[in-house]
């Protein structure tokens, strides 16, 4: 990669998240230039971008230094493995793979190849996370409740892979909250109990409740993740501070209130921040393969009480 030249990047999987977030974020980035998109069926691509039917054809053309893998999570591991083997840097949409151990294997491969692997937990880059982290570190935290409710059909009409094995179900959205927790909490969080609501024919939950804990607090931490929610979506986390105050994160991390007072009302800047971080990682020859949000999800799956709905 030549210094000063933008990094040539390709997108693998031209679905909703690529269209709405990755393509605009790359277009607004000085560090990256979108040169290619790989998708198994033809899609419209921006001017100057070449469409390929597969990652192999994209790699063969020799016009990318990096790829963003935006497919369903079940096939991310294999595609990332192919990309790393071809000497590319890799950004993985969240969740980064099906399992923690797949991510760890990719990190091993990236390190061996001297390439950057970035598990892009975009919600960790929401505007509220860093201010929340500072307040929680200073004032302590005694309780926490996540409410992550949305209407699946509104955001993902007709999409079926969420319900297939490895598709995560409501955790595909809910890991966003878990990633905010990992990014903001002064202590580790872990899962003590879970109830999953699973529809007939589905392998993953449509909704879930979690009992969480930290090393300092055996209970008082919980989450409701619900993809079967009629009406307006709610993506909020409320902390009770150590001194009895209240910290509220809303709209997935755009709004932060402390003791009822507005601290922050930011726009959606997650994906541009993701690409700045990816550029820094590549420049510094590092990886960022965070697994903790996925670990919490895996732990919940492994001890869940299953209710058929």
**Interface stretch with a second copy, choices 34-42, 63-71, 93-101, 221-229 (CB under 8 A):** 93-101
Positive or negative: CA dihedral 251, 252, 255, 261? positive
Taking the complex as a whole, the smallest distance from the CB of residue 140 to a second copy amounts, in Å, to 17
Q: Kindly state the tokens that stand for 60.
A: 């063969």
Whole-number Å distance between alpha carbons of 73 and 100? 12
How many CA atoms are closer than 13 Å to the CA of 262, on its beta-carbon side? 5
**Cα separation of 76 and 73, whole Å?**
5
Q: Tell me how far, at minimum, the Cβ of 165 lies from a second copy, in Å.
A: 4
List 91, 180, 241, 304, residue binding a second copy (CB under 8 A): 304
**CA atoms in the 13 A half-sphere facing the CB of 255:** 11
Strands lying side by side in the sheet with 7-12: 50-52, 32-38, 7-12, 66-69, 89-92, 117-119
Task: Check residue 66 for interaction with a second copy (CB under 8 A).
Answer: no
Is residue 186 at the binding interface for a second copy, with CB under 8 A as the rule?
no
Nearer of residues 206 and 297 to a second copy, judged by Cβ: 297
Q: Which of the residues 2, 94, 149, 154 is marked catalytic?
A: 94
> Among 6, 139, 186, 190, which residue sits at the site for a second copy (rule: CB under 8 A)?
190
Sole window of 34-42, 56-64, 127-135, 158-166 interacting with a second copy (rule: CB under 8 A)? 158-166
Q: Is 275 in the site for a second copy (CB under 8 A)?
A: no
**Structure-token pair, residue 36:** 């290619």
Question: What minimum distance in Å lies between the beta carbon of 161 and a second copy?
Answer: 12
Query: Helix, strand, coil proportions of the chain in percent (round to 5)?
Result: 35, 30, 35
- Report the residue number, 218 or 262, with the smaller CB distance to a second copy: 218
The contact set with a second copy (CB under 8 A) reads 74, 77-78, 81, 98-102, 104-105, 108-109, 164-166, 168, 188-194, 198, 203, 213, 215, 218, 295-299, 301-306
Residues acting as catalytic residues: 94
């Amino acid at each position: 990669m030549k210094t000063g030249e933008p990094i040539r990047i390709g997108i693998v999987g031209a679905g909703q998240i690529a269209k709405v977030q990755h393509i605009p974020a790359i277009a607004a980035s000085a560090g990256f230039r979108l040169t290619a998109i790989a998708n198994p069926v033809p899609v419209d691509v921006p001017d100057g971008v070449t469409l390929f039917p597969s990652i192999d054809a994209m790699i063969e053309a020799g016009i990318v230094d990096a790829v963003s893998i935006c497919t369903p999570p079940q096939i991310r591991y294999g595609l990332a493995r192919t990309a790393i083997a071809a000497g590319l840097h890799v950004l993985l949409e969240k969740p980064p793979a099906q399992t923690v151990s797949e991510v760890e294997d990719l990190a091993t491969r990236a390190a061996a190849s001297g390439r950057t692997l970035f598990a892009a937990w975009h919600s960790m880059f929401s505007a509220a996370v860093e201010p929340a982290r500072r307040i929680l570190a200073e004032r302590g935290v005694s309780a926490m409740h996540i409410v992550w409710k949305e209407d699946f059909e509104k955001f993902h009409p007709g999409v079926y892979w969420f319900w297939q094995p490895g598709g995560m179900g409501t955790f595909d959205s809910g890991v966003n909250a878990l990633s905010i927790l990992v990014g903001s909490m002064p202590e580790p969080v872990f899962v003590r109990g879970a109830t999953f609501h699973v529809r007939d024919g589905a392998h993953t939950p449509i909704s879930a409740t979690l009992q969480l804990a930290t090393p300092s607090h055996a209970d008082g931490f919980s989450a409701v993740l619900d993809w079967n929610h009629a009406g307006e979506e709610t993506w909020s986390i409320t902390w009770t501070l150590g001194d009895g105050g209240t910290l509220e994160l809303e709209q997935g991390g755009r709004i932060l209130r402390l003791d009822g007072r507005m601290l922050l009302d930011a726009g959606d800047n997650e994906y541009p921040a993701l690409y700045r971080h990816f550029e820094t990682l590549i420049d510094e020859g590092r990886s960022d393969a965070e697994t903790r949000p996925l670990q919490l999800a895996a732990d919940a799956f492994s001890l869940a009480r299953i209710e058929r709905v």
